[in-house]
Amino acid sequence: MTDPDTTDSETIAFADVVRQRRSTRKFEPGRAVGRDVLTRIVDCGRWAPSGANTQCWDFIVVDDPDRREAVRQVFLDQAHRLVDHAKGFPAVSKNYLANTVAIVLVLGDPRWKVCFPQPTSPDWEAEYDDNNEAIFLCSLGAAIQNIQLAVTAEGLTSAWLSGGGEETTNRELAAILGYPEWMRAYGTIPIGYPVATQDRRYRRPIEQVCHWNGYEPQHYRRHAQVDFYESTLRPFAMYRDIEDLRDWDDYAQKLGDWGPAFTTGTANPDGRLEPEADFTRPRTAGRATKARNR
């Protein structure tokens, strides 16, 4: 163990890996890596935490070119379905999967949820069943994240595709890769050599996300801020390679009065919190909503 009071070189190297892990959607063509590298990467997934140590995952590493192409085709169809049936979401073309050195699929095995805390009376079913789902998905997220960080540490880059969690896409992937359909590919991680270094992306400032010793209401993001992000800001915040929105050339134009709420610790100057509201669907008629209604 290292002494937490000293900032040693290992700690700095880890923070660098964390910051450099970027969702990259453009890879150099014609590259390859050995199975030793891919095994080291997937082994980091194996060391992720999981509820009740169930290790409720399996990792399929697709490095065969024909299989990779078949997986790419599934994701091209998946992207077309998004355009047709989830209009307005700023998805990018999945053609770049052609240039991966491998694609790792993280399968979730739902049988293992039985090992999480189980309700012993009907009144408590909702409570525990809901949380079991959360434990299951969080475990998978931890494995996916470990794999992405390992990819970065190996000098490669990756993305995190969630489309395999959609039923149709999962059925097609299961048919190609031979896993039972009741398992689901919650995470798909295309791996490759980046065309360009992308080591920045929008992040909320640390003084906004971090609350000391309790929830600080001045950091709270108001309902209207969520609406603004969903309807207007999202595609830019997702894909531009700049951490601080104030560095955008068109900051004033894109953010308008919303600037401080996205770029300072004080998103909510009067500290007033709002009652819960229905956010199951977008609530405004911004750009994304217009696209959805076309």
Give me the residues that bind ligand FMN (CB under 6 A), please: 22-23, 25, 159-163, 201, 238
CB of 18 to ligand FMN, least distance (A): 10
Contact 119, 127 (CB under 8 A): yes
CB of 260 to ligand FMN, least distance (A): 22
The span from the CA of 206 to the CA of 217, in Å, is 15
Contact 192, 27 (CB under 8 A): yes
CB of 94 to ligand FMN, least distance (A): 8
Query: Which contacts (CB < 8 Å, 24+ apart) does range 123-127 have?
Result: none
The span from the CA of 76 to the CA of 81, in Å, is 9
The span from the CA of 15 to the CA of 98, in Å, is 30
The span from the CA of 31 to the CA of 206, in Å, is 37
Q: Which residues of 108-133 are buried (b: 16+ CB within 10 A; e: fewer)?
A: bbeebbebbeeeeeeeeeeeeeeebe
Task: Return the number of the residue (40 or 201) whose C-beta is nearest ligand FMN.
Answer: 201
Task: Return the number of the residue (127 or 247) whose C-beta is nearest ligand FMN.
Answer: 247
Task: Return the number of the residue (22 or 113) whose C-beta is nearest ligand FMN.
Answer: 22
Task: Return the number of the residue (285 or 291) whose C-beta is nearest ligand FMN.
Answer: 291
The span from the CA of 40 to the CA of 62, in Å, is 15
CB of 144 to ligand FMN, least distance (A): 8
The span from the CA of 99 to the CA of 101, in Å, is 7
CB of 266 to ligand FMN, least distance (A): 23
Task: Return the number of the residue (24 or 268) whose C-beta is nearest ligand FMN.
Answer: 24
CB of 57 to ligand FMN, least distance (A): 15
CB of 74 to ligand FMN, least distance (A): 13
Residue type, 221: R
Q: Give the bridge partners for 179, in sequence order.
A: none
Listed in order, strand segments (DSSP E) in 146-268 are 157-158, 184-192
Task: Return the number of the residue (18 or 252) whose C-beta is nearest ligand FMN.
Answer: 18
Task: Return the number of the residue (128 or 200) whose C-beta is nearest ligand FMN.
Answer: 200
